[in-house]
Amino acid sequence: MAASHNRPSAKLCPKTIDLFSTSNSTNNSPFLNAFTSGRIPCRLVHGSVRNRLAWNTSIDDLNYDPVLVLLAEGLRETAHPLPFISRQGFTELMSNINARQKVIPILPKLINPIKLALSSNDDEVFEGALNALIQLSTVVGNELDKYLKTYLSILAKRMSNRKYRDSVTNALNIFEENGEKDILPVIKSKIPTYCSVHI
């Protein structure tokens, strides 16, 4: 009998995850603990071309606190399939038409988890966190301005690496576009070489 092309992953069943696996260096993370206790209300569905998430509850009806906060915590994960779940889940919640009104009240809770992921030495974790930060800026606009200093030193360090210069510059352009006019001096105070998108 042929396997289904849309089969929920057994790895997403909390009962099948080995919490004590020595190969999982993040087995005490809030995201993994929440996932294994069933507090991340989705499952991974394997498609013939790509995987997707299936939510147990409509995203419109989800409480972003704690779900979005937990997904932000999950941005640091490296053990399959947790990175896909956290990044894709974060993207889907941020893409919801009502995201802004749900995200702004919990914005302070998202700042540190994204900072920790940005600080990772793992390139894929950094890239996922940078993408999440861009999405956050796009959704909340200038509400992010007062927290931006939190990330600028980390981004300045990455910008010195030619591999990430373009992607970090693009992110800074987006933060400037979405922020108030006084965000430019803040960016340049930490990254003097940054050129305004308006120049």
Domain count, the chain: 1
Query: Which pLDDT score is estimated for 199?
Result: 67
Neighbouring C-alpha atoms within 13 Å toward the C-beta of 115: 13
Percent of the chain with pLDDT over 90: 70
145-173 pLDDT, tens per residue?
A: 999 999 999 999 999 999 999 999 999 99
The reply to whether 3 falls in a domain is: no
The reply to whether 109 falls in a domain is: yes
**What CATH number is given to the structural domain containing 52?**
1.25.10.10
The reply to whether 76 falls in a domain is: yes
The reply to whether 89 falls in a domain is: yes
The reply to whether 100 falls in a domain is: yes
76-88 pLDDT, tens per residue?
A: 999 888 999 999 9
For the chain, the average pLDDT equals 87
Helix (H, G, I), strand (E, B) or coil at 76: helix
Which domain range does residue 76 map to? 29-190
> What mean pLDDT is predicted for residues 113-132?
97
Query: Which pLDDT score is estimated for 28?
Result: 66
- pTM of structure: 0.85
The reply to whether 196 falls in a domain is: no
The phi and psi torsions of 44 (rounded to 5 degrees) equal -90, 130
d(CA 29, CA 75): 11
The reply to whether 11 falls in a domain is: no
The reply to whether 197 falls in a domain is: no
